[in-house]
Amino acid sequence: MKHYVKTSIFKVLSILPDSLGSKIYHQLQNVSENKNVEAKLKSTENTLNTLGQIFLGLNIDLQNKSAIEIGSGWLPISPYILIQKYKLKDIYTFDINEHYQTKNILTFNSLFSKIFNYDIVVDKKNQYPLPENVHYYPSQNIINTEIPKADIVFSRFVLEHVTPDDITEMHKKFKSSLPKGSYVVHFISPSDHRAYSDNSLSLQDFLKYSSKEWNNIQTRFDYHNRLRLPQYLEIFNSLDLEIVYISHDNPKPNSPQEQKFKSLKIHQDFSKYSEKELTAGSINIVLKI
């Protein structure tokens, strides 16, 4: 889908009354998110394989650890893989929306059991058909919610959709609520997400706009903070969080993506950053409290 078509749909939804716009958006996303679940499962597994490799390199054993997931999404993919593959003890998953649906989870339980040869034993006392060690907290902003003590906080492609102020407040919450020595792991996709469905765009296309221009393009349904790698690091350093691991990629020299970037006229708001900082993508970072 060309980016302007999707943008137009979001624009229409954003001018509707909040409840109606959100309802229609939820219905559209529900259809989209429950298509090709096997591909989403594989993609999430690849991310969590990277997490496993990072923690192995840090000599940290994940077994019997408890974790908080930021952004539950539509299906309990990450919690199931973390428990089945890495033997975590409990997963507490928080989301500002309530996307889980019983029918979809039951279907996913069967699919996961088949693919991983792993029985999903549902806790019958739970509102949703989830195992007893997967705890779902929908419609809750983690900043304003009491959170359980956990060894690890984890997010996958969430932080880029959070305002800079809320990123700061979120990590203040972790510092004040979690035991010293806990880890916070973020997989961040800082690129222009419109380019994922429209390859005519550069992954940095949105950097040509001023804040005002970009806010006139995006809506609450597709918010992206556009933070560059140094800006994330500035937030974490300002809170005195130890950065124990960081990695990212950049476009390969002379690649189509590099050529698309070089053709952009970057807005002066981002002029102080180097090309490498502007194009840093697929950011993986581990913080220690």
Same domain, 229 and 118: yes
- 110 Cβ partners below 8 Å, 6+ apart? none
Tokens of 91: 């997963």
Cα separation of 126 and 133, whole Å? Answer: 10
Q: How many domains does the chain have?
A: 2
Q: What is the pLDDT along the chain (289 residues), one digit of tens a residue?
A: 566 677 777 767 677 677 776 677 667 676 666 678 999 999 999 999 999 999 999 999 999 999 999 999 999 999 999 999 999 999 999 999 999 999 999 999 999 999 999 999 999 888 999 999 999 999 999 999 999 999 999 999 999 999 999 999 999 999 999 999 999 999 999 999 999 988 889 999 999 999 999 999 998 778 999 999 999 999 999 999 999 999 999 999 999 999 999 999 999 999 999 999 999 999 999 999 9
Tokens of 203: 């992954």
Same domain, 21 and 56: no
Question: Which contacts of 125-134 are long-range, i.e. CB under 8 A and separated by 24 or more positions?
Answer: 128/100, 128/102, 129/102, 129/105, 130/76, 130/105, 131/83, 133/83, 133/89, 133/90, 133/91, 134/76, 134/79, 134/80, 134/83, 134/90, 134/91, 134/93
Same domain, 23 and 87: no
The domain that holds 118 is classified in CATH as 3.40.50.150
Same domain, 116 and 143: yes
Same domain, 26 and 69: no
Same domain, 17 and 100: no
Give the amino acid at 66. S
Same domain, 155 and 261: yes
Same domain, 136 and 217: yes
Same domain, 130 and 189: yes
> In angstroms, how far is CA 220 from the centroid of its own chain?
16
Instruction: Find out whether 232 and 188 touch, Cβ atoms under 8 Å.
Output: yes
Same domain, 20 and 92: no
Same domain, 19 and 126: no
Task: Indicate whether this model's pTM tops 0.85.
Answer: yes
Residue ranges making up the domain that contains 70: 36-288
Instruction: Find out whether 245 and 51 touch, Cβ atoms under 8 Å.
Output: no
Give bridge partners of residue 91 from the DSSP assignment: 67, 134
Same domain, 27 and 44: no
